[in-house]
Structure 1
Amino acid sequence: MNTIKSANFKTTPALVVPPLTPFDSSLKVDRAALATHIDYVVEGCRATMVVAAGVETQEYHYLPFEERKALVRATVEAVDARVPVVVGISHPSIRSAVELGQLASSLGAHAIQLLAPLRPFGGAPSTAEVVRYFELIARETELPIMLYLNPGPGADLGPEATVELAKLERVKYVKESSRDLARVGRLIEQIDRAGHAQYLTTSQMLLITLQLGGSGATMPPPLAELGAKIIAAFDAGNAAEAARLQQQFSLFPARWMHRGLMPTMKAALHALGRGIGEPYPPFGTLTDDEAAQIATYLQSTDLSHVTENHA
């Protein structure tokens, strides 16, 4: 396998895409369906980087540790060096995180993604504790780190703590999920434009992130297909078209987010003819009416439909 060594989003805005995870009837990862889905992520969504088992929408947390590692391997294999891969290594145990980081290196990954951790015994971690967590893992791994900020699954860090982590030598990317424009604008200035790390946001913040000088966004499919069109319009200097496309994120996925991002994305993929199955039980199943609403809404967007359903 050819290792891709660099991914500079200053010349090409970033579209970092986590493929969703298909499960078979025995709740094992369906590798054939995963490979087809990753083809869509790379080719149809024009991902500049693919996430392997790194964000909650990928449902990796349901998997035993060895199956999680197998999902990482299958993802890297399916991407086949067409674009860089960032491997998720988040884990309460630094030993387990290091093991995943070393696996990422052995597979030729470009970077590792690490969620700012909660304290397993409760209470908000201090900035010093989070910095120490990252330093301990960086000491025993060799790849660049993508700091992942997602309060709930991870710690809710303030801007000052985020900047401190972004200044760590090994942290080269920051992905955060706040959708808070005041925070995003501030941290683009203090992190990305200051030269500490490349700053990535979410689908809802993509266009304003690019306009303010940030590096791009992380989003799952099929949101990423629309994200690629926004980036293309922005790069072409077509502000009106970029804004028209960005408006399509106003209701999608927000209108259905009471079910969660991953179930909404799996329902949307099904509606577009790219279905990869249902969420891992028991959480997140949409009603028939909700699935029909999504299908109807998607007809008004610039997302492409296919005639064959891959489910």
Structure 2
Amino acid sequence: MTNDNSTLPPALVVPPLTPFDAALNVDRAALASHVDYVVDVCHATMVVAAGVETQEYHYLPFDERKALIRETVAAVGARVPVVVGISHPSFRSAIELGQLASSLGADAIQLLAPLRPFGGAPATAELVRYFELIAKETDLPIMLYLNSGPGADLSVDATVELAKLDRVQFVKESSRDLSRVGRLIEEIDLAGHARYLTTAQMLLISLQLGGSGVTMPPPLAELGAKVIAAFTAGDTREAARLQRQFSLFPARWMHCGLMPVMKSALTALGRGIGSPYPPFGALTEDETAQLDAFLQTTDLGKVTAHHA
């Protein structure tokens, strides 16, 4: 099945980060406030509920993961569509989460292309079967999520094969490899199989090549919304000026990990939701100071200063 994606506006898919209280339970009030920021300030066109690694859902027991999904969907309150993360090595557990998503009125489900649970890269036929088993027992469109490390490192051919499945309507890919990105845009998005979504670093060039948008966490998403707005308005110079800010942020601090950098950046911008789940991810005092100083040179820092 093919679709015409050429007339659709660029998508900004945003995964809210997860705040934890002193007992390391999800802080529901802080989550609701953070979701408001994602929807009202970052201008997300779709919100991810417990679907990507920056959301730290993998630390939660299964029932608490389901509670995080419920609370995120409730916090969004149908203001924008929600895609629910259902990734799990067991297709039965993924189906259970997919059925929960449907019962909550979600708009799509996001599914990481998995590694083999017993080790090694899966064959394309195994991945197709995995997705088909889940699609058979769920009724929502699927966002194929590609992130090598936590998930499988797929070839372009395997990625295109999965994108051709009828229920796969979005492909979120994290390679940051321009050669790969350009080819996937041609063979997936422009071929009409699914909407191709990229990362912050590849946002502008992906839009120029015909891609459909981006998935990025806050506060990157606040800046991403400005890039998309400038691109949509035809202001290429302004879009490029904004995009250049992704050249150093978060790259200069990525040795700390994306999620810790995002949580630290939110704190620097006056929108803090707490620290990473321990024991991993804390920035040093020097790293925090350097990040804070850099943010003040960006459009994000200028907005913070304006509201101070």
TM-score by length of 2: 0.96
1:143-154 residue pairs with structure 2 within 5 A? Answer: 143-154=140-151
Tell me the equivalent position of 1:140: 137
The structural deviation recorded for 1:11 is 2.3
Tell me the equivalent position of 1:5: none
The structural deviation recorded for 1:9 is 8.3
Confirm whether residue 229 of structure 1 aligns to residue 226 of structure 2. Answer: yes
1:46-85 residue pairs with structure 2 within 5 A? Answer: 46-85=43-82
Q: How many residues align?
A: 302
Tell me the equivalent position of 1:41: 38
1:80-159 residue pairs with structure 2 within 5 A? Answer: 80-159=77-156
Contact kept, 8 Å, 2:55 with 2:259, in 1: the verdict is yes
Tell me the equivalent position of 1:28: 25
Residue aligned with 2:246, SS: coil
Confirm whether residue 19 of structure 1 aligns to residue 2 of structure 2. Answer: no
Confirm whether residue 293 of structure 1 aligns to residue 284 of structure 2. Answer: no
The structural deviation recorded for 1:101 is 0.1
Confirm whether residue 268 of structure 1 aligns to residue 291 of structure 2. Answer: no
1:197-223 CA deviation, whole Å, 9 max, x = no partner? 000000000000100000000000000
Residue aligned with 1:248, SS: helix
Amino acid at match of 1:87: V
* Structure 2 Cα separation of the partners of residues 100 and 84 of structure 1: 17
* Structure 2 Cα separation of the partners of residues 78 and 147 of structure 1: 24
The structural deviation recorded for 1:305 is 1.5
* Structure 2 Cα separation of the partners of residues 245 and 109 of structure 1: 32
Confirm whether residue 208 of structure 1 aligns to residue 205 of structure 2. Answer: yes
Contact kept, 8 Å, 1:14 with 1:48, in 2: the verdict is yes
Residue aligned with 1:105, SS: helix
Residue aligned with 2:299, SS: coil
**RMSD of aligned residue pairs (Cα, Å):** 1.3
Closer, same or farther: CA 9–152 of 1 in aligned 2, 3 Å: farther
The structural deviation recorded for 1:80 is 0.4
Amino acid at match of 2:107: H
Residue aligned with 2:109, SS: strand
* Structure 2 Cα separation of the partners of residues 290 and 30 of structure 1: 26
Contact kept, 8 Å, 2:6 with 2:190, in 1: the verdict is no
> Which ranges of structure 2 fall in alignment gaps of 5 or more residues?
none
The structural deviation recorded for 1:68 is 0.2
Residue aligned with 2:118, SS: coil
Closer, same or farther: CA 180–197 of 1 in aligned 2, 3 Å: same
* Structure 1 Cα separation of the partners of residues 274 and 6 of structure 2: 32
Q: Structure 1 residue runs of 4+, over 2 Å off?
A: 8-11, 306-309
Amino acid at match of 1:148: Y
1:46-86 CA deviation, whole Å, 9 max, x = no partner? 00000000000000000000000000000000000000000
> Which ranges of structure 1 fall in alignment gaps of 5 or more residues?
1-7
Indicate the structure with greater helix content: 2
Amino acid at match of 2:215: T
* Structure 2 Cα separation of the partners of residues 9 and 47 of structure 1: 20
